A and B are shown apart, each in its own frame.
Chain A
Amino acid sequence: MHIVIIGNGISGITAARFLRKRSEHQITVISAETDHFFSRTALMYIYMGHMRYQDTKPYEDHFWEKNRITLKKAYVKSVDFNNKSLQLDNGTLAYDKLILAVGSSPNKFGWPGQDLKGVGGLYSYQDLERMEHYSKDLKHAVIVGGGLIGIEMAEMFHSRHIPVTFLVREASYWDAVLPPEESQMINRHILENGIDLRLSTELKEILPNENGEARAAVTNKGETVDCQFVGLTAGVHPNIGFLKDTALEVQKGIIVNEYLETNIKDVYAIGDCAQASKPAPGRRPIEAIWYTGRMMGETVAHNITNNKVAYKPETWFNSAKFFDIEYQVYGNMRATLIEGHETIYWEHPDGKKSIRVNYNKATGAIEGFNLMGVRYRHEVCKKWVETQTPIEEVLANLGLANFDPEFFEQYEEFVVEAYNKQTGKQLVLTQKRALNAVSKFLSKLVKTN
């Protein structure tokens, strides 16, 4: 059987790897982007000089031949689902099963000048090349969109001492996801790094110069910011243009069921481009992040190799880094507190670290963790959330979750203090950071409710 995977990002490659682990099928991965799989999340580090392109490749080049995974550099123009054949820019390719892992592209919302030269997002290797190209003699850059990629782009230009104006539509950075305190912490940190942060400001249009390149950005407040590059980082959308007007069911993304099957037999979709027809409670239909892509890749490999498993991503987790502040989240944490939840928030006096613990007021069960500048253990947090551990048990043992390096100060007692202040209780922190206690805790079987 010939399994063809379109897209060599984390989703497609994970699928290929697990297909190989589990079967002897013929596997081909097609990409027009790069010859080999690289870590998309590391693009910023290439630009900043922390790594070279080759350092971002998680597997050495000999890995693919050794594992009999054929890599094909080609651009898929269209899919003939009836005849199970792909029309490539350099030929055709037949498949028995097809995995669509085609990823997404930066959003453009119809701004005048959005297609000028020197305007673009940061998703693909080509996007990085564009940034690099226009960085030469770049005096000023404007970034549009207050999310994870926008702040990465700001950090990239900042690393080259290129002044940045950062237009954020919302009243505070990423406030659709971060609660106000965390969001404001990042606002302060952006300003501390000398970025011209403009909140509640939208892009109206991009003005061209005589060569058809961006020369200035105009905001909805009537300001004109001179610049030679405009970064568009207002989210992404699935790359499904080449699949429109086919039998494949698509909306925003490619519609898949819980087994990641599309409406066409032997065709699957995973990663950024997949849209769940029935997302799990509390989850979005499209989750364009690294971790979900990796999990879907593994799941689809099982489904193709006679081990039918549903894609159930379980407890939400994610991470990011805003300049120098690391962010981790575990569980169901929202920008606005969910009805019936209670929150405990502690922030370090330096304003760059915080711990937030949410719990259910009625049942007392832990709901999740939001961490800024502090590292927590994935497995411990997950186990607490999934076993609906009572908040006071979690707080008394909070040191189990601490994953900061040795010698780092432990802040768990302040979280307990904040809880006591809020509730008038006298809870005491009994467990500090300790690996042995963690090992015992994780190996203990807990009855799930």
Chain B
Amino acid sequence: MSQVYESLSLANHSREIDAVQKVGLALGGIGVLLLFVAWGGIGLSSPALMLSTSIGLMTVGTLVYAWRSYMTVPEGIKNNGVWFDSLSNKGVLGWLFAIIITGFYVLLYFYPSLLGQGSDGAANTGIVALFDPLSRLLNGKAASQWFVYGTLYTVAILLLGFKFILKYRHNKYQLWRTISVMFFQLAFAFLIPEFLESMNSDQPYFQKDIKNMWPLNFYFYQDWNVNGMLGGGSLGLFMLFWGLAMTFIVSPILTFYYGKRWYCSWVCGCGGLAETAGDPYRHLSDKSVKAWKLERWLIHSILLLVTVVTIAIIYAYLKGDPGHKIWMTPMIFVIIVVVLSALVAAILLKNKTEVITSLGNKAFTGLLVALGGIAVLSVVAILTSGYDVFFIPTHQLKHWYGFLVGSVFSGVIGVGFYPLLGSRVWCRFGCPMAALLGLQQKFFSRFRITTNGGQCISCGNCSTYCEMGIDVRHYAQRGQNIVRASCVGCGICAAVCPRGVLRLENGSVDMDKRTTDLKAIHIGEEGVKLM
């Protein structure tokens, strides 16, 4: 053991790319380049041709590259060179890519006019104008920066979803999950809302993506959306009731049966992008205990914040609705909030199962305090009878939440930093929907990742490729099942495990004992055994 060799990074790790792959990359690259060309104002005389050429080239390029990369080799895990590649290992390419996407998000959210968004009725120019024909085709109106974003987002999920499917073609769970996110993005997030918009173009705008629910969709209860839905005929009323049902009935039930994965890695658009475009960066998530601590504080604070802001918004809305367009008064609303908080607290206290006690008393108390605090503050609001619940001007709360959480966190950092912090930064540290579903998953769900007896070899592939930064190995090597609030059930840990140790599954029989450890080989009173 005395011989010393040079650094492990000396050898030439360059991944060999053959001519066909190069052609694919080139075609896709030209497709992307055309977008920049259009941004510069060139080719906008025939935007339809330009856009179809661009998207067509990106499609053909991705298909060729992905097919050549994965279909020429036997099926299986394809992580060779992940930590050597500049793009996936925070090298120059990774940083460059991060800067480009971050820049795009900054323009999109804060300087849309630079992308060509026409203001005050002026026609679009640049890249936004490029999308005008497609927008007219789908919803009858000129494009907006959000239409551009939605289209590119959908194209990214579809193309890179295809690549992901080829990469994991041996794994049916990955196959169906990816088809699902591709379908929900294309149909429910993109096409259907556009069609509905074109059919109801005379009515005020409200959001029409039926899979988008509060609290991820934090503007669901904002006055413009509520007014839009109330004035939006039968579709509007359906969206209102469906939106309420999603948060309070559909989602808890599905999470009870399948865990939060039914949403986070099967349906959600943010999750969809993370699982497809973000897949090459999943290993960059931070697995340290420190990061986990930060995660718990941050994500639950944001859930609390969005709850408070939403209560304030609804309260203010009801206060400002003296005509009683709807039957609910501020008083009834506060009573509902108090009863709901009490109900959840009662359920928590009554079902103090093994899973709940495993949390530790501090976190458990914290939860109860949060619930109590919400209830008390709501009552204070009705007693003081002002517009501004919690003594903070509601519109400011709304504004800052929208800016910091809705734009900066979920967009700029959440996606822009994929190549630096991993693909699920937003989902892990910021998304209030993930926080809410996570609490349900931890306390009221049949879902868990089962550890297969004593077969773990502590290799670390599961932890490394967990996009949520869960140290899966910590549980697997001691034979404990994994029941973590943050787990989105992507199933990659089970896929990359070289020893068949992990399985995502749901079961009711042992629901309250999901976290019992000591299933690995251990010493009992009678000797060494599997317990």
Contact = CB atoms under 8 A, between A and B. Distances in A.
A294 B521 CA distance: 8
Identify which of B13, B170, B528 gathers the most chain A CB atoms within 10 Å of its CB. Answer: B528
A50 B461 contact: yes
Nearest to B520: A294
Interface stretch (B187-195, B214-222, B501-509): B501-509
B449 to A, nearest CB: 11
A51 B461 contact: yes
A342 interface: no
A436 B474 CA distance: 25
B452 A375 contact: yes
Interface in B412-470: 450, 452-455, 457-461, 463-464
Interface string A405-449: 111110000000000000000000000000110111001000000
Interface string A119-150: 00000101011101101110000000000000
A403 interface: yes
B398 interface: no
Identify which of A33, A136, A409 gathers the most chain B CB atoms within 10 Å of its CB. Answer: A136
A201 interface: no
B171 A378 contact: no
Contacts of A33: 1
A314 interface: yes
A51 B527 contact: no
Contacts, number: 199
Contacts of A161: 16
B458 A39 contact: yes
B460 A299 contact: no
Contacts of A124: 1
B80 A406 contact: no
Q: Which secondary structure characterizes the binding site on chain B?
A: loop
Contacts of B510: 439, 443
A295 B498 contact: no
Interface string B80-111: 11111100000000000000000000000000
Contacts of A382: 453, 530
A312 interface: yes
A159 interface: yes
22 contacts: A10-B458, A39-B458, A41-B459, A42-B457, A57-B460, A58-B460, A58-B473, A132-B5, A132-B10, A137-B12, A160-B13, A291-B454, A298-B521, A298-B523, A309-B523, A312-B528, A313-B528, A375-B503, A377-B453, A378-B452, A379-B519, A408-B173
Interface of B: 1, 3-6, 8, 10-13, 16, 74-77, 79-85, 170-173, 175-176, 288-289, 450, 452-455, 457-461, 463-464, 473-474, 477, 491, 494-496, 498-500, 503-510, 519, 521-523, 527-530
Top-8 shortest CB links A-B: A378-B453, A324-B76, A375-B500, A435-B507, A407-B172, A42-B459, A129-B5, A439-B509
Interface of A: 10, 18, 32-33, 39, 41-42, 45-46, 48-53, 55-58, 60, 75, 124, 126, 128-130, 132-133, 135-137, 159-161, 189, 192-193, 290-291, 294-295, 298-299, 302, 307, 309-314, 317, 319-321, 323-324, 326, 328, 375-379, 382, 403-409, 435-436, 438-440, 443
